[in-house]
Every structure is written in C-alpha cells, then in structure tokens.
Amino acid sequence: MAFSRFQNRLSEAFRPLVAPALRSATLFAVATAGAAIAQSAAAPQFPALDTSSSSAQLFSSSADQNAPSTEASLNPAGGVNFANYMQYGGGQRRRYGAPRYRGNNTNADGSNKWTGYAGVGLAQPVGNTWKYDTPSWAFHVGFGRQFSSHFAVPVEFSWDNFGLTKQTLDNQFALYNNQINYYCTANAATCNANGITPFTSLDGNSHIWSFSFQPTYTIYSGKGVGAYVLAGAGFYHKVTNFTTPEVGEYCDYYYGCYSYQANQIIDHYTSNAPGFDAGIGFTYKFSRFSNERFYGEARYVYIVNSQRTGVTVNSPVNATTVSEADAYPANSNRTSYFPIKFGIRF
C-alpha cells in the first residue's frame, strides 16, 4: 500500500513535465517523416550513359550524327527535360520542311523529269526582212528533258507565218509581166494557142518552219510568277509563194457543177539554213497546287541563209533574164524577226 501511494505521488509530480516532452517528440517525428517523403518524391537522377559505346545513342541514324548526346538530352543541367525526352528517338526536336517525293518521273529536287509547252502569237520581221515581209500569226510546241527545277532542254517545232509587203508584190507583179510580154513578143503563136497573157493581180505569202533545241534556264519561280531565259539553235526552212486568183469548177453528185475562185501558186521559193534564237519569258501559276503555268515570251531569231543570185524588177529584160530560174532572190536573204507567243507550260 505504501509503495502504491508513493508511485501515485511520483506520477503526479512528473506529469506536468512529461506531457510537453511527448508533444515535442510527436511533432519532431511527423516533421522527419514528411521530409523523407518529400525527398523520395524528388526528380530521379539517371546515371550517365557511356557515350563512347555505339549503344549510347538512341534510335541513331545517318542524318543525326551531329545531334547532341543522349545523356545531354535526357539529363540537361542535372535534371530530366521531359519535353525533349518524349520526342521520337530522343534528343532535340527536329524541324522538317515540305516533303519531297521522288519517283521515276522526278528529279532529286522534286521537279518533273519532262517538260512541255504550246503557244500561239505573232511573228514580227525586223532588219532587212522587214522590207519584204509583214507580221502574221505563229505557233510553236515543245517537249523535252528537264534536268532540275532550273534547267531543261526541250525540242521545239515552230511555224512563223508572214505576209508580203505591197512593195514586194508590186515589184514581182511588174517583173512577171515584163517577162511574159518579152516572151510573147518573140513567141506570139505559142502565147495565143495557150492563152498566155499578163497577170491582172498578184498575191503571196511566206512562212518559216523549224526544228530546234531550246535550252531553258528558270531564273525565278515563285508561288505565282516566274521568269526564264532561253537560247537555241536548229534547222530553219523558209518558203515564199506567189499566187494569182484562178477560177475553177467543182461538180457535186447532188448539186451539180459550180464555179469558184481560189489562189493558185504560180511561183515558189525555198531556202534551208541553220538558225539561232534567244529570248526571255514570264510565267504565271494558276494555283500553288498546279504544275501548269501560263507564259508569255519574246525571242529574237536570226537565220543564216545563203544568198542566191537571181533577177529583180531592176534587171534588164532579155533572153537570159527571162529564163533565169530565181525571180525572187530575196527569199535567200539572211532573215531576222521577233516571235512573240503566249501559251501553257507544264
């Protein structure tokens, strides 16, 4: 009994001291546990990879040989950069341009291996040719190899038509009638029997067709407009025809026979020669998804014809000149003109 009373008195004496100590110990334990939990939730540290080994690079390729190391990508500045880490293959974010698809019909830069064009316009004679010919219609078509988006070498067929000046027609009209009169004076019976008489009118035309190579270089090609230059060489065939109106008769099974008038060629001259050209053109693209472009271009053409001898209206009229085969030597003059054409390139 005495011991129990002593124990109770001792507890009552130390109780005011023990309670605050227990509260302090409890708070210290809670704080220590919280710090441990926070430390365990901190960012993990990854061990450095051995970059000297070929396995150090993740998803490496020949295009990424200069990319930063995997260790630097995974653990920059001592921590994990998740934005970079989540990229496919790891490492820094890569930038990509517009995709380029290459097939059998495209070049390394994505351009088509073949190009073509077709255009119409007019041909304007210049220089000495301007004295004999007048402007008229023209067209050309071309198709060939394109080696890149800038350079192509198409083969072109071109037809450039011309009229004849009034002075040219008047001179030829006088020349032909002088020859007819001289011949009929010496051969009246033949002229009467065959109805050979001087002409009452004369008309004519000229044209040049050619096959040529046209190397073309595109100096600018934007989303809308573009520009190019070209210089070519080829074979040129020049023709001049002189005609007179003739009356013909045509018979049809249902409607019977009727007369008509048409120009008949009474004299014809040709000249073959090499030729050269150079020019500039501009293009307009209809949309950024289209390969076709509208174009307009101007060139200068020079043909190195070989001059032939012949007779003109100023030549004396005699047996020699009347029998001369070439009554229009101007067809073999060296030729120059500007073809201006518009069309579609593809």
Q: 46 with 78: CB under 8 angstroms?
A: no
**Helices and strands in the chain: count of H runs, count of E runs:** 6, 10
Give CA 26 to chain center in angstroms.
86
* Residue showing tokens 């994990």: 80
What per-residue confidence (pLDDT) applies to 222? Answer: 85
Q: 273 with 308: CB under 8 angstroms?
A: no
pTM value is: 0.69
Q: Residue 277 carries which side chain, given as an amino acid letter?
A: D
Burial class (CB in 10 A: 0-12, 13-18, 19+), 143: middle
Q: How far apart are CA 93 and CA 70, in angstroms?
A: 13
Q: What is the CA radius of gyration of the chain?
A: 47
CA dihedral 167, 171, 177, 182 (to 10 degrees): 160
* Range with the poorest average pLDDT among 10-19, 97-106, 156-165, 204-213: 10-19
What per-residue confidence (pLDDT) applies to 73? Answer: 46
Record the tokens describing residue 298, joined without a space. Answer: 């101007």
Give CA 164 to chain center in angstroms.
35
Give CA 147 to chain center in angstroms.
11
What per-residue confidence (pLDDT) applies to 164? Answer: 98
- The per-residue pLDDT of the chain, averaged, comes to 81
In the chain, the N- to C-terminal Cα span, in Å, equals 120
What per-residue confidence (pLDDT) applies to 63? Answer: 44
> Would you say residue 115 has pLDDT above 60?
yes
Phi/psi of residue 237, each to 5°?
A: -120, 115
Q: How far apart are CA 269 and CA 286, in angstroms?
A: 44
What per-residue confidence (pLDDT) applies to 81? Answer: 57
Where does the pLDDT of residue 258 fall: very low under 50, low under 70, confident under 90, or very high at 90 and above? Answer: confident
- What does the DSSP 8-state code read for residue 42? S
Q: How many CB atoms are closer than 10 A to CB 63?
A: 8
Burial class (CB in 10 A: 0-12, 13-18, 19+), 267: middle
Q: 344 with 292: CB under 8 angstroms?
A: yes
Three-state secondary-structure class, residue 7: helix
Q: 133 with 123: CB under 8 angstroms?
A: no
Quote the percentage of the chain above a pLDDT of 90.
53
> Would you say residue 60 has pLDDT above 80?
no
Where does the pLDDT of residue 57 fall: very low under 50, low under 70, confident under 90, or very high at 90 and above? Answer: very low
Where does the pLDDT of residue 8 fall: very low under 50, low under 70, confident under 90, or very high at 90 and above? Answer: low
What per-residue confidence (pLDDT) applies to 177? Answer: 94
What per-residue confidence (pLDDT) applies to 53? Answer: 47
- For 298-338, the pLDDT digits (tens) are 999 999 999 998 999 888 888 777 777 789 999 999 999 99
Quote the percentage of the chain above a pLDDT of 70.
70
Where does the pLDDT of residue 212 fall: very low under 50, low under 70, confident under 90, or very high at 90 and above? Answer: very high
Q: How far apart are CA 327 and CA 268, in angstroms?
A: 10
* Over residues 153-178, mean pLDDT: 97
Q: How far apart are CA 207 and CA 125, in angstroms?
A: 11
* Over residues 224-250, mean pLDDT: 94
* Range with the poorest average pLDDT among 1-10, 101-110, 179-188: 1-10
> Would you say residue 51 has pLDDT above 70?
no
> Would you say residue 284 has pLDDT above 50?
yes
Altogether, the residues listed in the chain come to a count of 346
What per-residue confidence (pLDDT) applies to 9? Answer: 58
Tell me which of 240 and 46 has the higher pLDDT.
240
* Over residues 81-86, mean pLDDT: 54
Record the tokens describing residue 301, joined without a space. Answer: 């053409």
Q: Quick one: which H or E segment has residue 135? A: none
Q: Residue 57 carries which side chain, given as an amino acid letter?
A: Q
Tell me which of 274 and 61 has the higher pLDDT.
274
